[in-house]
Structure 1
Amino acid sequence: MSVLLLRLAGPLQSWGSSARFTRRTTENAPTKSGVVGLLAAAQGRRRDADLSDLAALEFGVRIDQPGSRLRDFHTAHHSDTLKSMPLSERFYLADAVFVAGVSGEAGLVQRLYEALLEPVFLPYLGRRSCPPSRPVTIAEPLEGELEHVLREARWEASAWYRDKRTASFRRRGQEPPDDVRLDLLLDSPADPDRLPDISLRDLPMSFDPRHRRYGLRGVRTTETRVPIEPEARPSSPPPPHEPTSLLTPVTPRAD
């Protein structure tokens, strides 16, 4: 099978599997429906398009940097009538990094990789207000089993998070370990003799806004150990960034 790895990193992410009405929660890791939606958007599929080929992909995710939970007390109103909409709570994961993977037929996986390089609709991390801060693609598709590829992928945590982990050991007078233990969440095949560790209603059947439908998906949880490699740092400081310089200057009106 062919495996495509995705780097899901951003200031904010939100992956809801049971978020409804005025309380919009997030899971601790990307959902299959969220990642399938990202891939479908990159290909330019409309919300009422067939998703059966993407939903059939095997899915897994590794938690490289868990981040922290953030709560937003949300207010909004209708733009035409200025009538207030219901107050809501929205939850996000701040400063999280995940390595997600999908596995399936080589031709489909290759097309998904090419779509992510030139997406029709820009990718986002669960919600439109959550853009990625780093490229989503890590490498070209790889041959192998999804679990093995996820276990072998390099640690994608941010440099500051690596430094924080190392400093915590040194404060206790200990040498930092050579590897880090990470949680791994994988699709659990239907097996009457073994129940899944978790069940989520995040198997996408239709994104049609008139009738969104999701099925139950079993999840198996495990752990893996990944070597701690030094983060590649730039040899020179980044160039100065002044976005307002691109704006057209306004010429003062002579009185």
Structure 2
Amino acid sequence: MSRTSVLVLRLAGPLQSWGASSRFIRRTTESAPTKSGVVGLLAAAVGIERGDDSRLAPLAALRFAVRIDQPGTRIRDFHTAHHAVTGASMPLSERFYLADAVFVAAVEGDHTLLTGLRDALRTPAYPPYLGRRSCPPAEPVDLGLYEDARLEDVLTNVPWQASTWYRRRHHTPQTLTVLRETAADEPTAAADVLRDQPVSFDAAHRRHALRTVVTVSVPTPIPAGGGSPQDAHDPFAALDVLENESA
């Protein structure tokens, strides 16, 4: 009998964009990573080519959830472009992003498959990005593999991953929001339906199916000592000190 484990990712960067219903000149973003976007990140790490639906299927079958640790700010950008052959101007497009957001995403499934995905994230075949190629992660995304675990338990216990500067400027929230894909035997009466279940990433005919998602709150799991989750250098720390001294 196969073991069920959970692979956890920290998705943080200056910009992220997770489109689920973007069309033509208006490219929107959801408020949290989509399953399609995260599965695409994993597929890129493994080296799955677009259109290779047979290799994509096991990744798409993983159960997915995401926790909003730092919601970020929605911003809008305008893009101009010219036709590569004629040089004619293309229509002005709007593109939306999440700035300074941090999410904890997790996939649940076969332990052997997830072990391979974790190894691929550490030496990816193609660079990972946060929804769009113009949005690279700020640091390695691998947060670890939890053996013989469930999504519900892991996202309740993984320490809060908000940035150091964010923690200094905001009160610690009592709870964090989790968007979790329903289990096979779970009632779906209170679930939402999203069309971000990847079926094919073929550029000529991308396809997505529906999946059911429940929104729950979990107590904020603070790291021991309340310190930074990454204990990383913050280049703006000195500016904050000067601002406080001049106040």
User: Shorter-normalised TM-score: what interval?
Assistant: 0.7 to 0.9
Q: CA deviation at 1:8?
A: 0.2
Gaps of at least 5 residues in structure 2 are 236-247
Do residues 199 (structure 1) and 193 (structure 2) align? yes
| Aligned 1:230-249 pairs, distance under 5 A | 230-231=227-228, 233=231
Corresponding residue number in structure 2 for 1:83: 88
Corresponding residue number in structure 2 for 1:134: 139
1:3 to 3, 6, 15: 6
Corresponding residue number in structure 2 for 1:15: 18
| Aligned 1:221-232 pairs, distance under 5 A | 221-228=215-222, 229-231=226-228
Summarize the Cα distance change of 1:81–1:165 in structure 2 as closer, same or farther, 3 Å threshold: same
Q: CA deviation at 1:33?
A: 0.3
Superposition RMSD on alpha carbons, in Å?
2.1
Corresponding residue number in structure 2 for 1:145: 150
Identity in percent: 57
Separation (CA, whole Å) in 1 of partners of 2:183 and 2:234: 48
Corresponding residue number in structure 1 for 2:245: none
Q: Please state whether the residue corresponding to 2:134 is helix, strand or coil.
A: coil
| Aligned 1:8-157 pairs, distance under 5 A | 8-50=11-53, 51-157=56-162
Tell me the TM-score normalized by structure 2: 0.86
Separation (CA, whole Å) in 1 of partners of 2:135 and 2:232: 26
Q: CA deviation at 1:226?
A: 2.0
Contact 2:65/2:151 (CA < 8 Å) preserved in 1? yes
Separation (CA, whole Å) in 2 of partners of 1:235 and 1:131: 19
Contact 2:64/2:106 (CA < 8 Å) preserved in 1? yes
- The alignment covers a number of residue pairs equal to 227
- Which amino acid in 1 is paired with 2:227? P
Contact 1:65/1:96 (CA < 8 Å) preserved in 2? yes
Gaps of at least 5 residues in structure 1 are 167-176, 238-255
Separation (CA, whole Å) in 1 of partners of 2:148 and 2:134: 34
Q: CA deviation at 1:191?
A: 7.1
Summarize the Cα distance change of 1:189–1:73 in structure 2 as closer, same or farther, 3 Å threshold: same
1:164 to 169, 182, 185: 169
Corresponding residue number in structure 2 for 1:170: none
Contact 1:97/1:157 (CA < 8 Å) preserved in 2? yes
Separation (CA, whole Å) in 1 of partners of 2:24 and 2:148: 41
- Which amino acid in 1 is paired with 2:26? R
Separation (CA, whole Å) in 2 of partners of 1:72 and 1:4: 33
Summarize the Cα distance change of 1:211–1:234 in structure 2 as closer, same or farther, 3 Å threshold: closer
